[in-house]
C-alpha cells in the first residue's frame, strides 16, 4: 500500500478526487482515507501543518499501516531564485533552519521518483529542503536562508517527516511543488491565521482591507497554492500509475 502524506486541505483536494474511496478511519484525530488509485491500494492522510503535526502523523502512519512507500507531497516556498511557480522538487536531503545537520532521504526512491516524473513530462528536479518553524513570507528572509544553507525550497514539515520515517526504516519520498517564488514577498500567513483563530474571520478580512498590499499578496498566495494543488495531483497520479 502507498501512503500519501499531505499537510493541508489546500494541498490535497485534487488528490482526494483521484481516489476511489473504500473506507474512512480516524487515528490520532487524523482522517485516513483508504481506497484505490490507478488500481493500486492507497491511503491518504491529512497530516496537519507544522513539524509537530508532521511528526505525530508519521508516528501514527508507522503504527497503523505497513506502507510499501510513503509519498510525502505538498507546497513549498522557493529559496532558489531559479525555481518557478509549479516547479517540482524531489527532496534529496533536509536541513533545519538553525541546524546544518542534513537528513538524507532514501537515494534510490528519490532518483526513481524524479526519473518517473520526468518521463511523465513533468518539470521535476532534485534538491535540498529547509524546514522552518514559522511561515517564511519575506523575500529578504528567503534570500538570507538560501545564502546560509543553499537549500532549494522551504517548508514546515520535511525534517520531521524524514526523521520519523528514517527512525523506523519506512521507505519514503518527498515531493515539493513551488507555490511562491524566492524573489517575491508573499502573504503573512502567520498573522492571518492568528487573527482568524483568535478573533474570527471578520478580523482577518478587516486586516486585509486595511492593508491593500497584504491583500494582493494573499490573493497571489492562494493562486500559487491552486497551482501547487493541481501539480501535486498530477505528480501523485503519475507516480502511482507508474509504480
Helices (H) and strands (E) in the chain, counts: 8, 10
The CA-CA-CA angle for residues 101, 163, 115, to 5°, reads: 90
Q: Provide DSSP, 214-232.
A: HHHHHHHHHHHHHHHHHHH
DSSP alpha helix (H) spans, 30-88 = 51-64
pLDDT (0 to 100) of residue 175: 97
All domains in the chain, ordered by first residue: 2-242 (3.40.50.1580)
Cβ partners under 8 Å of residue 200, min gap 6: none
pLDDT (0 to 100) of residue 238: 93
Q: Is the sign of the CA dihedral 168, 64, 228, 112 positive or negative?
A: positive
pLDDT (0 to 100) of residue 101: 81
pLDDT (0 to 100) of residue 197: 85
The pTM assigned to this predicted structure is 0.92
pLDDT (0 to 100) of residue 229: 95
Cβ partners under 8 Å of residue 109, min gap 6: 69, 171, 172, 173
Inter-residue contact 234 to 71 (CB < 8 Å): no
| Residue spans of the chain under pLDDT 70 | none
pLDDT (0 to 100) of residue 242: 87
Amino acid at each position: 500500500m502507498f501512503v500519501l502524506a499531505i499537510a493541508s486541505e489546500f494541498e490535497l483536494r485534487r488528490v482526494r478526487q483521484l481516489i476511489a474511496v473504500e473506507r474512512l478511519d480516524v487515528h490520532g484525530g487524523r482522517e485516513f482515507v483508504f481506497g484505490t488509485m490507478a488500481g493500486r491500494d492507497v491511503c491518504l492522510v491529512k497530516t496537519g501543518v507544522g513539524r509537530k503535526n508532521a511528526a505525530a502523523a508519521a508516528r501514527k502512519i508507522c503504527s497503523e499501516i505497513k506502507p510499501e512507500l510513503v509519498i510525502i507531497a505538498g507546497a513549498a516556498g522557493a529559496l532558489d531564485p531559479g525555481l518557478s511557480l509549479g516547479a517540482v522538487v524531489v527532496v534529496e536531503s533536509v536541513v533545519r533552519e538553525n541546524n546544518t545537520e542534513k537528513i538524507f532521504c532514501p537515494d534510490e526512491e528519490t532518483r526513481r521518483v524524479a526519473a518517473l516524473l520526468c518521463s511523465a513530462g513533468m518539470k521535476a528536479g532534485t534538491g535540498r529542503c529547509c524546514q522552518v518553524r514559522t511561515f517564511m513570507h519575506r523575500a529578504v528572509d528567503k534570500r538570507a536562508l538560501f545564502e546560509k544553507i543553499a537549500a532549494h525550497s522551504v517548508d514546515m514539515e520535511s525534517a520531521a517527516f524524514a526523521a520519523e520515517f528514517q527512525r523506523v526504516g519506512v521507505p519514503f519520498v518527498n515531493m515539493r511543488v513551488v507555490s511562491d517564488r524566492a524573489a517575491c514577498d508573499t502573504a503573512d500567513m502567520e498573522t492571518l491565521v492568528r487573527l482568524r483563530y483568535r478573533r474570527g474571520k471578520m478580523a482577518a478580512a478587516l486586516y486585509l482591507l486595511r492593508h491593500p498590499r497584504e491583500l494582493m499578496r494573499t490573493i497571489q498566495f492562494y493562486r500559487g497554492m491552486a497551482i501547487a494543488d493541481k501539480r501535486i495531483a498530477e505528480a501523485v497520479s503519475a507516480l502511482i500509475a507508474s509504480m
